């Protein structure tokens, strides 16, 4: 694994847990973790349960005891590391967004396709596909429970930037993060929309905004979880926020369904509210990540007199991933998405199948994000997304 901040900790918990809960054809071993600060990475290895620590990701990739490289760094280094790992014959799991640009994502996808022909697999870390309620939603849609889709609505609302004194972390700087709420939150929203609808977004019309344009520079170095600072700290005073604080966009699917997206870090009081709703001719589904064990389903084929959105508590043994967990009603949490991701990836490696979401899926999300930025720059004009 490369990187050991918030995502690294979450992935580690997934890797440590998956084999204790699921029956797996292969047993994952936490061979080595990599970071630039030797002392910090050794402490992280001990804490998170990795057998060894490296300070150069090239050394990590060169290790014989590493079969799979899990890339948990900021987006600006995804392409270089993931492509090198694939070229070195490793399987790769890469955090989302796949890259900071379509070009990088394109190169990564090509590398993945070449690697696939050599029997390697590559997966993009859209972990929310592994929330059991989301997996169940996808299964129900694939079964036709919603019929022809009319509306797909996804908003991802957080509020950690409301305070203008929150510092200028790497997530607020374009060179490291690529974009702001768009790439961080909007990427999840777009991936879920495409995953659930079963088709790509065909075009978008977008607005983006940066509400707070200057923020205090971080005094120290990179550290910690959510507010981890990027390189270049040490100065005092204010620095420019060079990414969006919020992105709103509408879109169309080729099937004719309409889509509505919102990603923001300024929705005061909303902590991690990834809300999804899909309306089809035969029914509707609704989900909110702040209540991740629940899926709401309206079955429009029922008599209206007793129809209504039902709250499915997604903890039954025949719900996705749940056969391995606790009895009904004993809910899971955020971190379990990483165990499920690990489960699916390990099975794909063992079975020689292509895991989803692939790098191509990650690339397709990246194309939507690029179209959003293009539309926003062109007065919101409707901008088709190439496939």
Write out the binding residues for a copy of itself, residues 33-62 only, by CB under 8 A. 47-49
Instruction: Round to whole Å and give the CA distance between 80 and 23.
Output: 34
Structure tokens at 36: 């630039």
- Contact call for residue 144 and a copy of itself (CB under 8 A): no
Provide the minimum distance between the beta carbon of 271 and a copy of itself in the complex, in angstroms, as a whole number: 3
Minimum CB separation of residue 144 from a copy of itself in Å reads: 13
User: Which member of 106, 109, 120, 158 binds a copy of itself (CB under 8 A)?
Assistant: 158
Tell me the window of 100-108, 184-192, 244-252, 349-357 that interacts with a copy of itself (CB under 8 A): 244-252
Of the candidate residues 89, 119, 234, 328, the single one contacting a copy of itself (CB under 8 A)? 328
Give strand pairing partners of 263: 156, 247
Q: Is 282 in the site for a copy of itself (CB under 8 A)?
A: yes
Between 112 and 193, name the residue whose CB sits nearer to a copy of itself: 193
The residues facing 32 across adjacent strands are: 52
81-100 binders of a copy of itself (CB under 8 A): none
Smaller CB distance to a copy of itself: residue 58 or 271?
A: 271
Kindly identify the residues of this chain, within the stretch 185-214, that bind a copy of itself according to CB under 8 A: 205-207, 209, 211
Task: Please name the residue that has the structure tokens 């129900």.
Answer: 140
Answer for which of 29, 36, 63, 252 binds a copy of itself (CB under 8 A) is: 252
| 3-class secondary-structure state, position 32 | strand
End-to-end CA distance of the chain: 31
CA separation for the pair 273, 209 (Å, rounded): 19
Buried b (16+ CB within 10 A) or exposed e, 197-211: bebbbbbbbbbbebe
Q: Least Å distance between CB 238 and a copy of itself?
A: 18
Which CB atom, from 313 or from 354, has the smaller least distance to a copy of itself? 313
Which residue in 29, 42, 174, 298 binds a copy of itself (CB under 8 A)?
298
Among 267, 368, 369, 371, binds a copy of itself (CB under 8 A): 267
Residue 29 near a copy of itself by CB under 8 A? no
For residue 234 the two structure tokens come to 């040490």
Q: Whose Cβ is closer to a copy of itself: residue 120's or residue 279's?
A: 279
**Helix, coil or strand: residue 254:** coil
Q: What sign does the dihedral 297-298-301-305 (CA atoms) show?
A: positive
Q: Which of 53, 71, 123, 273 binds a copy of itself (CB under 8 A)?
A: 273
Q: Is 331 in the site for a copy of itself (CB under 8 A)?
A: yes
Asked whether the beta carbons of 341 and 128 are under 8 A apart, the reply is no
Chain Cα centroid distance, residue 34: 21
Distance from C-alpha of 58 to C-alpha of 81, rounded to nearest angstrom? 8
């Amino acid at each position: 694994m490369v990187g050991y901040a918030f995502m690294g900790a979450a992935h580690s918990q997934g890797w440590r847990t998956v084999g204790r809960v699921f029956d797996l054809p292969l047993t994952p071993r936490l061979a080595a973790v990599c970071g630039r600060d030797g002392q910090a990475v050794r402490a992280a290895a001990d804490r998170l349960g990795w057998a060894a620590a490296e300070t150069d990701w090239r050394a990590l990739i060169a290790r014989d005891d590493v079969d799979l490289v899990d890339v948990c760094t900021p987006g600006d280094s995804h392409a270089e590391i993931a492509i090198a790992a694939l070229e070195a014959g490793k399987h790769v799991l890469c955090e989302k967004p796949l890259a900071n640009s379509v070009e990088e994502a394109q190169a990564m996808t090509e590398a993945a396709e070449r690697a696939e022909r050599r029997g390697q697999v590559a997966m993009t870390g859209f972990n929310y596909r592994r929330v059991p309620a989301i997996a169940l939603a996808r299964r129900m849609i694939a079964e036709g429970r919603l019929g022809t889709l009319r509306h797909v609505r996804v908003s991802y609302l957080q509020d950690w930037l409301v305070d203008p004194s929150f510092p200028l972390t790497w997530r607020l700087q374009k060179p490291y993060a690529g974009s702001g709420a768009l790439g961080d939150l909007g990427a999840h929203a777009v991936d879920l929309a495409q995953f659930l609808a079963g088709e790509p977004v065909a075009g978008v019309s977008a607005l983006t905004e940066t509400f707070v344009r200057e923020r205090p520079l971080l005094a120290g170095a990179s550290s910690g979880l959510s507010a981890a600072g990027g390189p270049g700290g040490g100065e005092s005073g204010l620095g420019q926020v060079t990414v969006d604080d919020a992105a709103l966009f509408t879109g169309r699917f080729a099937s004719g369904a309409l889509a509505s997206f919102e990603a923001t870090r300024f929705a005061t009081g909303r902590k991690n509210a990834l809300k999804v709703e899909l309306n089809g001719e035969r029914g509707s589904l609704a989900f909110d990540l702040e209540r991740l064990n629940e899926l709401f389903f309206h079955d429009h084929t029922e008599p209206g007199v007793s129809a209504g959105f039902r709250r499915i508590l997604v903890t039954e043994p025949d719900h996705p991933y749940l056969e391995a967990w606790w009895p009904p009603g004993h809910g899971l949490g955020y971190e379990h998405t990483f165990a499920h991701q690990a489960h699916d990836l390990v099975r794909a490696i063992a079975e020689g199948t292509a895991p989803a979401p692939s790098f191509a899926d990650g690339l397709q999300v990246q194309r939507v994000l690029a179209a959003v930025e293009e539309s926003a720059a062109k007065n919101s004009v409707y901008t088709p997304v190439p496939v």
